[in-house]
Structure 1
Amino acid sequence: MRLHPVNKLNIKDVLRTPSYIAMLLIVMILPFNSLLQILRTSTGPMAFIPVYIYLVLNISIYLFLNMIALSLIVISEKTSGRCEYYLANKVDIRQLTSLYSRSAFVLSIAPILLFNALVFGYALAAREAVLLHLFRNVAFVMFAAAYLLFTYAATGTLTLISMLSKSPERVRTFLSVSAVLFVFAASLPGTFIRKLGITPDGNAILWITGCMLLLLAALCTAVRSSLNGKLSNESIILSYKQ
């Protein structure tokens, strides 16, 4: 699939930004190292903790990368006047919003795919039983599909909200705070379950997480549908008045 010139310009601009590169290195190196440390203390196929941490890492990486990608695309395009230029040249506002969403999605999902490829490569090289069993599991395929649907739906919804917002910086703040809170909150269920002496296997975690992501994807789609009616050239122009 060929990228639209707007997508190419967005991706090129973001990849030149030090803040995106710094965030990319942080969310790639630290989670991978954390996963390796956890695997050294866990044994047995589909052990609860490493599988749970692996899923949490995938979701948190998306939140952090999407936060900075949307900031560098939507906020930058609106504040620089480039968005107004596109509208003045008869670019349909719905198409423009879709293009921004696609750029943010590519910039968010590509590093995540690379992260998973590194984990899979490590699993093969080290013959890591937990991860090998995870990647071969049917429940993992369901989780992966649900994860992609969620990230696509969430990116589209957040892009639309950012476009309509008169203060898109607030959206960025909300995303950054949410990402930090998620990482903190996600560690609590695992700790609580372990203290209760409950040790669900990886299959249960995969199915539960996958179903939750599908519900969130449906919620994002519903929110996006309800907001689509408000999207117009006039609403975007008015959003510049802060």
Structure 2
Amino acid sequence: MLPVRSARNWLTLRNSWLLLRNAGRRSFYSTKPKAPRKDELPSFTKIALVGVVGTIIFAEAVKSLDKNQPKNSYSESEYAEVVKNMKRRKVMFSPGELKVQIAVQGVNPGNFHDRGRIVEPFEVAETYRKMDNDRYQPLLNDLRDTYGDQYVQNLPQGLLVMLIGRYLKDTCQKGDSVLVVDFPLDMSDAIKFENEISVVDKVLFNSPEADSDLAKYYQTVNKVEIL
């Protein structure tokens, strides 16, 4: 006689085998097996599909994140390409298209001879302030009402650079020489002008301003002329 535990295990195995055999017979002898509805896929198929779709979505999300990640390091060639693309996208005048010189505030107008067409910031601002329906006319009028003839010194940061660039584009032709006087007003304008408008060939300073931060900035690229 089998022990009780062994007998129970044997009965369990036997019953399981009989159930599987009977289930197989019912499936084999059924003449019209019930087809699953098209919208009722087997659970394992659903799981597989969810897995595939989830993987695709995740992969695309990773790609998206990868594209939007800020790049913190560049090789020398990559950096050169970035700078090249920035210049192609932003600079209004390509190098050599205009010969641009600048005379900071305080330079004697007697030094302006034979340096090309004179461009004054006040003249530039007045051109667009008096232009009907210009998008900057209301702002320039408000500033003129508030500050009078000194309103050019009180323009929003960067606006004077943009207006001068626009004025040069509207009035100059390729190969022209221009001297922008009483400019830049600060270091920010100096950097913005060369980054977005044009490379500067020379910057004129009086002797007292030779040690200014602005002069030192232009000295790093050998563009300073002391008068």
Q: Same fold (TM over 0.5)?
A: no
| TM-score relative to the length of structure 1 | 0.20
The structure in which a higher percent of residues are helix is 1
| TM-score relative to the length of structure 2 | 0.21
Greater relative contact order structure (CA < 8 Å, 6+ sep)? 1
Instruction: Give the number of the structure whose alpha-carbon radius of gyration is greater.
Output: 2
